[in-house]
Copies of this chain bind each other. A is one copy, B any other.
Amino acid sequence: MRYKVTVSYDGSQFHGWQIQNEVRTVQEELEKCLSKIVKKQTTIHGSGRTDAKVHASRQVFHFDASLNMTCDNWYKALNALCPDDIYIQKVEEVDDDFHARYDVTSKEYCYYVNMGDYDVFNKNYVYQFNHVLDVGQMKEAASYLIGTHDFTSYNATPLDEIENQVRTLYALEITQKDDVLEFKITGTGFLRYMIRMIVGALIECGKHKLNPEDIKEKLELKTKATVPFRAPAEGLYLKRVNYD
């Protein structure tokens, strides 16, 4: 049987999703729990990686198991074993050909910037910027990035690793609530640091260090290392992974 699992995690204490030696990762913690339940080493397949300190409200992964257990019992068994910064939201049975990574149709991310006073309770959950940004400039700049473009300038994946860096941004909305800016970003797929580099460039516009037109020019340059600032990880949340 193949299972699709929706999971949330607080990224603060993780070195990201993907298993690496000697550091704590979400994938490793989940595989440890799962392997305890099925009593053999079991691999999970995530919809994609998240970086160190990045959060997820609804990341998705799949795994295969022959254990005869209802989805509700999987949900309970996994949550009973998970550490307190991981929480299973849902377990569903899916067809054998479902794949958490290959079948993704789009992903939704949010990024939060606090322009107000430092808030000790949010230190791991927003980017504490402490200054007012020009939201009008940022919105204008964002408009140049929406749609289908070659995003070579706005990510850190080397071209010899992934040659085709054309992606589609369906939405890039910026809304302000009190002192906090929320960036809602939806797209077909994201390359390494792509969201944090986009948000970083927009913040430079909000600071008047760049003009909105610079954002367009950099996009058209299609070269690496033109974006001066990558927004820090703690403000970023994987909000939803969509499938057909």
Interface residues on A, range: 10 to 19
A22 within 8 A of B: no
Distance from A120 Cβ to chain B, minimum over Cβ atoms (Å): 4
Which residue from B55, B89, B118 sits with its C-beta under 8 Å from A121? Answer: B55
Q: Which residue of B lies closest to A125 (CB)?
A: B121
A219 within 8 A of B: no
Which B residues are CB-close (under 8 A) to A86? 120
Q: Mark A1-28, 1 if CB is under 8 A from B, else 0.
A: 0000000111000000000000000000
A111 within 8 A of B: no
A209 within 8 A of B: no
Per the 8 Å Cβ criterion, residues 121-156 of A in contact with B are 121, 123, 125
A92 within 8 A of B: no
The oligomer's copy count stands at: 2
Assess the A85–B120 pair: CB atoms within 8 A.
Answer: yes
Q: What is the CA–CA distance of A123 and B118 in the complex, to the nearest angstrom?
A: 20
Q: What is the CA–CA distance of A10 and B12 in the complex, to the nearest angstrom?
A: 15
Assess the B10–A87 pair: CB atoms within 8 A.
Answer: no
Which B residues are CB-close (under 8 A) to A8? 119-121
Distance from A136 Cβ to chain B, minimum over Cβ atoms (Å): 30
Assess the A10–B55 pair: CB atoms within 8 A.
Answer: no
A84 within 8 A of B: yes
Q: Which residue of B lies closest to A128 (CB)?
A: B84
Assess the B9–A87 pair: CB atoms within 8 A.
Answer: no
Distance from A142 Cβ to chain B, minimum over Cβ atoms (Å): 26
Knowing that A8-B120, A84-B120, A86-B120 are A-B contacts, what are 8 other residue pairs whose CB atoms are under 8 Å apart, sorted by A's residue number?
A8-B121, A9-B120, A10-B123, A55-B121, A84-B123, A85-B120, A85-B123, A121-B125
